[in-house]
Structure 1
Amino acid sequence: MTARFFNRLATFGVGLAITGGVVNSTLYTVPGGHRAVLFDRFRGVIPTPSGEGTHFLIPWVQRPIIYDCRATPRNVPVETGSKDLQTIAITLRILFRPKPEELPTIYQNLGQDYAERLLPSITTETLKAVVAQFDASELITQREIVSQKVRQLFTDRASKFGIITDDISITHLAFGKEFTHAVEQKQVAQQEAEKARFLVEKAEQHKRAAIITAEGDAKGAQLLSDAFKQAGEGLVELRRLEAAEEIASTLSRSPNVAYLPSGQNVLLSMPVGAR
């Protein structure tokens, strides 16, 4: 009795396991931010993708292909030529995602690795078309315009393949060695020119200051000459009297100087001990 019970229990367990496996094989789950394309062995790709959650399928007949529909960044480097035939190395950063309703078509035409198949070619085509419209120097001075043209052209091209671009930006822009060297030489020449112009302006200011000083000295000498001409001998006599007054004042403060009336003998006026 006991052996028969365990045999039945084992048979039930096997049947339950088989049933569970069959039920599990008829279900598939789509994670958040993803979509599923269902491939049917008899009908091909189902035109309507499956959304998030758990769905049913026919085992061994249908197979789900899961796609990530969240924004994904990708850097694509491209080397191209400018309008003035300069070699330009550009790296474009693309933030993209597939259109959910276009996933069946994307799977049929490009497969699951659609980004690797499509983005490099679109990026190369877009950058070559836009960069060829500008000179190397304009790529720097008009970078915003270049980015806008690249963004517009890339978005139009990608949308034809069912891809949405949330953001496109130029993250790297480099020129050839010859052009870089020429730009450096130009910068040095401009700095030298600015230095030379400063020195010329400085010398001109010194020259103007010297001229103004000389003109002032000449004006002062002319005024003094005119004053002498107008005053005549009176001014000379005044200067002589002022000089005599200054000498007399100096002598009056000296203790060893004696003053005698005019015409007297100096020896008579001296003390006896001094004779």
Structure 2
Amino acid sequence: MTNPSGDHDRGFSPLRPDPVNNPTSNGPPASPPARFSPRLGLIIGGVVVAGLIAAQSITVIPAGFVGVVFSSFSGVKPIPLQEGLHFVLPFVDHVTTYDARLQEVTLAQNTAQGDEGSIRARSKEGLDITADVTVQFRIDRSKAAILHKELGRNYINTVLRPQVRSKVRDSIGQFGAADLISNQRTQLEASITTELNKSFSRNNLVLDAILLRELKIPESVAQAIEQKQTAEQQVAVERNRLQQAEISAQRDVVQAQGKAKAAIETAKGEAEALSLRGRALKENPQLIQLTVAERLAPGIQTVMLPSDGNFLLDMKSLGTQSLPKTAQNPAPQTPAAPAAPQSGN
């Protein structure tokens, strides 16, 4: 049976809506599917690639750090990167940072987990010594590339700790236990510092200080050393007292010798004075009469008459003689003054 309207030729089906003959079919007309633009994809991809390249080509070295560059083409570059912003080849150069600030490592009994603990050594006489040590150091900035190439980031465990233990043991073995806990602690630090400086310089490290926090010896040995030091101090005190007594005795001897010398000199002076006086009297006999006159009592009035006989005349004996009878009621007489000695010429 033929279809006069020709619907069969247009592929008409009663089950499929006809948009022309039946416009009120289900929903609005379907829109054409969206098409992806190749140009937009290229732009987005370029932005992503540029961001990755920029992120790989810019590196920032923090303050106090130094960067070592490893190139996939040439290996470790000899010149390290200092603090600040730097440009590197993306995907080719890789930067490793090292802390160049002051660092410290402590080897002690009560340290943080992971430390090896105190250093056990033997003194010069073979006694056990336990040392707690702190090492302050920093890496050599100019040689950070060599440090990275030869030691790597684990240089503290591979080099620093073993070297510190070895040098501390060697230095302690040069001293006696009594000296270490009394008066040679500073010398021990100096010895350790000298040896560690040599080792650190070979490994591109800079030693800042070695600090001996504590030195421990057996308790029995410590008591014996303390008793010995106490006895030595007592001997030193007694020796000091003896020296003071000897100094005092020497002072007394010196004073006695000084007094004796003074007495001798005084006697010599007096003897010399007497000798001179005797010589003067011998040469001048008139000085004898002058001396006798000077020594007479002030109440005795004498007159020394110059004559060859050299005699003294007593004025009192002359005053007792009787006066002439014709002289009655005489006027009071003033005592005559002694006549001055006259020369015999």
State the TM-score, normalizing by the size of structure 1: 0.62
Larger RCO, structures 1/2 (Cα 8 Å, 6+ apart): 1
Partner letter of residue 101 of structure 1?
S
Q: Does 1:168 align with 2:210?
A: yes
Match of 1:52 in 2: 83
Partner letter of residue 138 of structure 1?
D
8 Å CA contact 2:178, 2:225 repeated in 1: no
Match of 1:66 in 2: 97
In our comparison, the structure showing a higher alpha carbon Rg is 2
Aligned residue pairs, count: 191
- The counterpart of 2:137, out of the listed 96, 99, 104, is 96
Partner letter of residue 199 of structure 2?
R
Match of 1:179 in 2: 221
Match of 2:194 in 1: 152
- The counterpart of 2:55, out of the listed 7, 17, 24, is 24
Report the secondary structure of 1:125's partner residue. Answer: helix
| d(CA) in 1 for partners of 2:191, 2:230 | 33
Partner letter of residue 130 of structure 1?
S
- Structure 2 gaps of 5+ residues are 1-33, 108-117, 239-345
Report the secondary structure of 2:104's partner residue. Answer: strand
| d(CA) in 2 for partners of 1:94, 1:138 | 22
| d(CA) in 1 for partners of 2:229, 2:208 | 42
| d(CA) in 1 for partners of 2:43, 2:219 | 78
8 Å CA contact 1:35, 1:69 repeated in 2: yes
Query: What's the CA shift string for 1:162-213, capped at 9, x where partnerless?
Result: 11111211012111344245446x37986xx99xx9xxxxxxxxxxxxxxxx
8 Å CA contact 1:151, 1:169 repeated in 2: no
8 Å CA contact 1:106, 1:162 repeated in 2: yes
State the TM-score, normalizing by the size of structure 2: 0.50
| d(CA) in 1 for partners of 2:146, 2:39 | 51
8 Å CA contact 1:25, 1:59 repeated in 2: yes
Partner letter of residue 156 of structure 1?
K
Aligned-residue CA RMSD in angstroms?
2.8
| d(CA) in 1 for partners of 2:185, 2:64 | 34
Q: After TM superposition, give the deviation of residue 12 of structure 1 in Å.
A: 3.4
For the structure 1 residues 55 and 4, does the alpha-carbon distance in structure 2 shift closer, same or farther, using more than 3 Å as the test? farther
| d(CA) in 2 for partners of 1:6, 1:166 | 65
- Structure with a larger share of its residues in helix: 1
- Structure 1 gaps of 5+ residues are 198-275
| d(CA) in 2 for partners of 1:29, 1:57 | 11
